[in-house]
A and B are shown apart, each in its own frame.
Chain A
Amino acid sequence: METNPTDSKKPLKFKWFNVGQYTFEKDGRYTNHIGFDYIREEEALTYDALKIVNERIEEARQKALHGKLSPIVYFMEKTWMDPMTLSRFVGRSIFAVKRHFKPKNFAKLKSDMLQRYADAFEIPVEELKNFH
């Protein structure tokens, strides 16, 4: 994917668009202007959120490589999903999706279901089957 927000090769560069902000002044006026108020722009918390999400992705990748979790978890974190969103994408219940997180159950998946997961993550099926 071209616009993957969590591409770890590139350094994270914060390109924030300006946000409309209303402010309450001490004399009771409301003003409307563009830009961040509550924090300096380059300090915005999006950086910290990305850092934590990237840590999670790396953890899921290591677990998938060592066979503790299925690759579905890694791709789910990578595409900023959660079990609930993913269950809507593949058309199964949350419990069924969570079952597929175990490598034992993942190995039993039929090609039809694998294709649905691949479509949700926008990757070829081979990448899901032979994860390395």
Chain B
Amino acid sequence: MISDYKHNFSSHCETGVTSDLLRHKGLDISEPMAMGIGSGIFFSYLPFIKMQGAPMVGFRTTPTKIFKLTTQRLGVKTTVVKKFRDQLEAMDLLDRNLKNGIPTGCQVGCYHLTYLPPEMHVHYNFHNVVVFGKEDGIYHVAEPVLEDTQILTYKDLLRVRFAKGMFEPKGKMYYIESVTLNPDIKKAILAGIKTSVKNMLKHPIPFVGVRGMRMLGRDIKKWPKKLPANQASFNLIQLVRTVEEFGTGGAAFRFIYGSFLKEAGEKLNHDTLLETSIEMGETGNLWREFSIRSGRFVKTRNGSQDDYSLLADIILECAAKEEKIFNKLDKISK
């Protein structure tokens, strides 16, 4: 049985899933709105975790955190099943949901997702999809970062839901039970901003938030001396790909977040929010400048005037600008 789930194309997997699931229940929350209320903006630089030799730079919070926070703040009742011991039990529960016509979000790994192009088959287990129907043993899957809905067999879906590697999904799934149709949107927005400010400015761990960005900037300056040339440029390539290509909506979520600030400012008629939305857009443009210049630098090593320390300075400038923005937001969210 296939439910009448309407699939929308989105920039980021989890905000797309959250906003689509809420829209299915009749609550119109756009993708940037889900990003803001769920406090999706984040930064973490983890040099001790290496993905194919490159240090991990994360621009997202842990999986299903956006979904949890957004629904909690809008007063929506949900169920999140964290993990399953038994693989068959996980599939049975999903089948039961689909029989009742409940579209269900699942955390999956990317390596064995058959419909993705081969370049995207990486061991990355933070991806989210919505399963919304089953017909003759074939599952219908709404993939947020693709325009059309896709299909997966039972075996393939089981495999991606129990993908191995770092941060295993362990069959995690989540769905909405009931919604309240007129939530207090102002309270939700301010609560979302408050958590974001805490994550970016006051996080106790030093490599998270603005402090993490400064640490990354300092480390990039050391790369050409410390590492072989091949490894240094691979690190830079992976960083730029994380910023622009892996479904972040461009410039590491800064544009989506700015879009949220603008939407929230118009909804609440708030001047500071509108002002910060423009500043956030300018920061996004700065991140984009970093990607363009790094791309040129990697491709034409000799023809470009840049070097690692000049590129690192852009990130340090971003950190300074974002600190200013979140200090402004800190005052209004109290």
Contacts and interface: CB of A to CB of B under 8 A. Distances in A.
Interface stretch (B194-202, B245-253, B308-316, B326-334): B245-253
Contacts of B281: 24, 28, 30
Contact of B233 (A14, A34, A52, A81): A52
Contact of A38 (B145, B164, B165, B292): B292
B129 to A, nearest CB: 14
Contacts of B164: 88-89, 120
B123 interface: yes
A82 interface: yes
A130 interface: no
B215 interface: no
B65 to A, nearest CB: 21
Given A14-B119, A22-B250, A39-B291, A45 B165 contact: no
A19 B234 contact: no
Contact of B258 (A30, A48, A81): A30
Interface residues of B, number: 56
Nearest to A86: B165
12 contacts: A17-B146, A20-B11, A20-B145, A20-B247, A21-B250, A23-B250, A30-B255, A36-B245, A38-B251, A53-B52, A81-B165, A88-B165
Interface of A: 3-5, 14-24, 28, 30, 32, 34, 36-39, 43-46, 48-50, 52-53, 55, 80-85, 88-89, 120
Interface of B: 9-12, 32, 49-53, 111, 114, 116-119, 121-123, 145-147, 164-166, 168, 230, 233-234, 237-238, 240-241, 244-245, 247, 249-251, 255-256, 258-259, 262, 277-278, 281-282, 284-285, 288, 291-292, 295, 298-299
Given A22-B11, A28-B281, A49-B234, 8 more contacts: A22-B255, A22-B259, A34-B9, A37-B288, A43-B295, A80-B123, A82-B53, A84-B50
